[in-house]
Structure 1
């Protein structure tokens, strides 16, 4: 069968691989959809992921149907629709340096453990929406790290998939008012459609001043001036100016959570932010959230569907990878299988 591999720096190719053999404790999955992640472009640019440099299978945002189960497997059945914890495979991280990737028709879950690698979902959830489970877990972890609570006010920088996922997660927690900041009009329009209370085009507006208008203002810790009465800031953009803008606006003991990958160092004036006692929290992956977010997707599939911008068939997977890494070309690309 065909599988998509990184075969060298900036080089993705079709590779013929053997179909998996199902053991007594295994579950064979027929992949039905797989999202393209920004980290796929990172893996490609670097020529793979250690220790598999030069031969790395791609695809770590899958949704699948159970195709076959081993003799000892219980609690799951052929035909079940499932979302997948790609970090719980015994042969390595699926699509992130392990022996398998999900940009291939069949994936083998070796040594299946109930409620560990797979969760069954309703069969009426569209495959391209179910494939959002993994990146939405990343967004949900960022919101959990922020400590956002019902009644809080929050702002998200970046209306890409993670930012929009964070918006939905914040709303699910009862956060009272969420503002989304971006510089692309269509992204801001999508944020409003998904449920943002307001949006800010940071290329046209002063973010700090606009936040005060939208979420109110409070005096800073020394009574020197007004700051936005915003409780939670989430950086889903990965741009240094975002961090600086957030810190210059943050009130006393506000929280800044950063799930974004910053490719360049960010300079901070720690003396300037000392008085605010702002809490900066990094957010990586999804230690517990992979199946927590599934309930939200099941409850609101139509809202999550808005996050997907492009759906391409598996035979165009190489094109999908190029589309996803081209700035401004697409928001969220998902590959689907017949």
Structure 2
């Protein structure tokens, strides 16, 4: 079978891989669509994401949907042929974080397509994959597979909004209108935000944010122009650059909450720490998700407007083109690889 494998910086290949068979507790899934994530792009362009560096070839991908093929011994789940999404995380279940109900920051988790540990956890960008059967989620009735491929990044967005606390009736700022930023916009509106302002440098990205429900879309380099809020209640940084965090800290109200969601470059990043002190701003991190995956599938099932965020579906054989398109934010929002073409 074929899979999308990263061998090193700028070395992305479609390789022949051995067909897997499910072991005890596992399910075999025929993958149909896989969303190209920002972390996949970082592995491709930089050989790593954040502090996680590539040390061996790795199948990429953790945003996958498909159909159940079969089960290994002692495992069960949705009947073969059922359309499913795959939760990409396997927490250890025994560390202090898992015991505290924070499985998304498990210190010994396994996450599809991640170089955080060695050997790396191989990802889901292959024609067939084996995963723990408990990670399968049958799709809600009427939810198309393509839209369901947004479940993983929408879960990230839902977790970030929950980390902010209640946003009902609040004005929320989102810096960065990439796929995650746009989904944060949708998540904030779904959670009752009365107004969502989003900033980015690219007009094309801002148009996607409007499709996701943004009330105001502003160029990040036009802060002196009319239309910029004097302050916001909550700010969620989704660009992964220090300038975005600076904007959040300067615009959030005194005593407000800033959530850092975007993965900043490795090493130290400067930020306006004195504002955190003098304004008693609460700065919180948001990493991945846990139970939000089921909430994401439910939300996707009732919201057709998410389809506008899927800008292209590209056959696996053209993976290089798909990654180049996904990296060009002036031409795309979310790009899916098609493993069934």
TM-score normalised per structure 2: 0.84
What are the ranges of 5 or more consecutive residues in structure 2 without an aligned counterpart? 93-108
Q: Deviation string for 1:270-316 (max 9, x for gaps)?
A: 3344221111111111133222221111111x221111112111221
The CA deviation at 1:171 is 1.2
Instruction: Summarize the Cα distance change of 1:3–1:201 in structure 2 as closer, same or farther, 3 Å threshold.
Output: same
Report if the CA contact (8 A) 2:249-2:272 is conserved: no
Instruction: Summarize the Cα distance change of 1:25–1:210 in structure 2 as closer, same or farther, 3 Å threshold.
Output: closer
Separation (CA, whole Å) in 2 of partners of 1:257 and 1:125 = 30
What are the ranges of 5 or more consecutive residues in structure 1 without an aligned counterpart? 213-227
Separation (CA, whole Å) in 2 of partners of 1:207 and 1:271 = 26
The farther-off stretch of 36-45 and 56-65 is 36-45
1:108 aligned to 130, 139, 157, which one? 130
SS in 1 for 2:240: coil
Match of 1:191 in 2: 209
TM-score normalised per structure 1: 0.85
Match of 2:96 in 1: none
Q: Deviation string for 1:309-337 (max 9, x for gaps)?
A: 12111221232123223453422211123
Runs of 4+ in 1 over 6 A off after TM superposition: 48-52
Match of 2:250 in 1: 248
SS in 2 for 1:15: strand
1:304 aligned to 291, 303, 306, which one? 306
Separation (CA, whole Å) in 2 of partners of 1:15 and 1:119 = 28
Separation (CA, whole Å) in 2 of partners of 1:164 and 1:51 = 27
Match of 1:3 in 2: 3
Instruction: Summarize the Cα distance change of 1:199–1:323 in structure 2 as closer, same or farther, 3 Å threshold.
Output: closer
Instruction: Summarize the Cα distance change of 1:46–1:197 in structure 2 as closer, same or farther, 3 Å threshold.
Output: closer
Larger radius of gyration: 1
Report if the CA contact (8 A) 2:68-2:83 is conserved: yes
Report if the CA contact (8 A) 2:14-2:319 is conserved: no
Separation (CA, whole Å) in 2 of partners of 1:326 and 1:186 = 11
Q: How many residues align?
A: 317
SS in 2 for 1:287: coil
What is the 5 A alignment of 1:140-179? 140-179=158-197
Separation (CA, whole Å) in 2 of partners of 1:122 and 1:289 = 15
Report if the CA contact (8 A) 1:81-1:123 is conserved: no
SS in 2 for 1:199: strand
What is the 5 A alignment of 1:65-144? 65-70=67-72, 72-88=74-90, 92-97=110-115, 98-110=120-132, 112-113=133-134, 117-122=135-140, 124-144=142-162
Match of 1:200 in 2: 218
The farther-off stretch of 239-248 and 154-163 is 239-248
Separation (CA, whole Å) in 2 of partners of 1:140 and 1:28 = 28
Instruction: Summarize the Cα distance change of 1:171–1:209 in structure 2 as closer, same or farther, 3 Å threshold.
Output: closer
Match of 1:180 in 2: 198
The CA deviation at 1:66 is 0.7
1:324 aligned to 318, 323, 326, which one? 326
